[in-house]
Amino acid sequence: MYTRKKCEKDDIWLIRDFLRETMKTFGEKVNWHIDRLNFTYSVSRIMNGVSEEKYRDDITMYMKDDVLEAVLITEGENRGEAFFEVKSLVIDEALKIMMFDDVEELIKKNDHDFIQLRLHSEAKILIDEAVYRGYEKVEWSEVTMKKLLIGIEDESLPESYTFINNFNFKEKATAHAYAFGYYEKEQIIIKAEQGLKAMTTMPDYKSEFDISIGKDGVEVAFATMWYDPDNQIGILEPVGTHKDHRRLGLGKSAINRGCNMIKALGATAVYVGSDQEFYKALGFSPVSTDYVYKKSLK
């Protein structure tokens, strides 16, 4: 018998432990990595005006004999997105029905006209149910890439650029805005400042892995590394370079510094949620794909 459990404040970190444990079980990325929970619970939800209580209220935990079996979760962006985190790809019929009924009820409750449900490419039971219920696979997908950590990576920087310890959150938010193209939206930059500050309070955040590169003391590139010691992996989120300082190797150097740091702690690989050519040039290769299935609720 499966039961639903709403996510209380401390349950967020039970979900984090679930993500770590299932990574061990699967041996490769199927569910979220720990970075996505930390980042969405801080930066994403704040930038999208979602409270901690609302973020948690949109989560459903599925229990059996007091053991967590699956999770329905969003990114706190309130855009109709939803994700299933699962203990196994062989999913009981009763649990599958509960999960799909709940995701449709959740999206309706949030007044969206459609669901964009992410399903791992190997989750055949879930994909078949989605198709049966009228979901349609869209053209885009979420690709995760991986790089094995073998040798020491080159961290060298161009002349006049230096690694900096920048915890001026206004400057970090400005760098983020110039990297991701919202530098003309003052109110969003203010929210980004709040979100990046909240990110530093997350249990898995380590300041030494928050790599910044500056010129004349101003941050122009960054790469935040999250380290999962249980699985001996790192995950990058976020990574960016100011639009006026690109094609100088700054992003590469920031990433390489983070890789060298976690390799010294025993990490064997680093992941990134992207399939950009930039990462492929650094030695990353695709290892996991989440398809997006969309359903209209009109």
Instruction: Give the per-residue pLDDT at 11.
Output: 97
- Taking alpha carbons only, the member of 22, 35, 116 closest to residue 70 is 22
Fold of 150-267: Aminopeptidase (3.40.630)
Instruction: Give the per-residue pLDDT at 257.
Output: 98
Token readout for 177 is 């805005």
The tens digit of pLDDT for each residue in 184-208 reads 999 999 999 999 999 999 999 999 9
Sorted by where each begins, the domain ranges of the chain are: 3-142+290-296, 150-267
pLDDT surpasses 80 at 89: yes
124-132 helix and 93-109 helix, angle to the nearest 10 degrees: 60
**CB proximity list for 35: less than 8 A, separation 6 or greater:** 204, 226, 235, 236, 237
Instruction: Give the per-residue pLDDT at 166.
Output: 85
Residue 132 identity (one-letter amino acid): Y
- Taking alpha carbons only, the member of 270, 173, 265 closest to residue 212 is 173
Instruction: Give the per-residue pLDDT at 110.
Output: 87
Mean pLDDT computed over 112-131? 96
Is the pTM above the cut of 0.85?
yes
In the structure, what pLDDT confidence band is assigned to residue 82 with cuts at 50, 70 and 90?
A: very high
Q: Where are the alpha helices (DSSP H) in the chain?
A: 11-26, 34-39, 45-47, 52-57, 93-109, 124-132, 169-180, 186-199, 250-263, 277-281
In the structure, what pLDDT confidence band is assigned to residue 297 with cuts at 50, 70 and 90?
A: confident
What kind and span of H or E run contains 111? none
DSSP letters spanning 116-149: EEEEETT-HHHHHHHHHTT-EEEEEEEEEEEEE-
- Taking alpha carbons only, the member of 118, 159, 110, 121 closest to residue 135 is 118
Instruction: Give the per-residue pLDDT at 78.
Output: 81
Token readout for 17 is 């432990």
The tens digit of pLDDT for each residue in 154-187 reads 999 999 999 999 889 999 999 999 999 999 999 9
d(CA 296, CA 190): 33
pLDDT surpasses 90 at 79: no
CATH architecture of the domain covering 3-142+290-296: 3-Layer(aba) Sandwich (3.40)
Handedness of CA 258, 260, 265, 268 (dihedral sign): positive
Name the phi and psi angles at 281, rounded to 5.
-65, -20
Q: Are 171 and 177 in contact (CB under 8 A)?
A: no
User: HSE on the CB side for 158, CA within 13 Å?
Assistant: 13
The tens digit of pLDDT for each residue in 206-221 reads 999 999 999 998 999 9
Instruction: Give the per-residue pLDDT at 204.
Output: 97
> Matching CATH topology for 3-142+290-296 and 150-267?
yes
In the structure, what pLDDT confidence band is assigned to residue 112 with cuts at 50, 70 and 90?
A: confident
Mean pLDDT computed over 224-231? 98
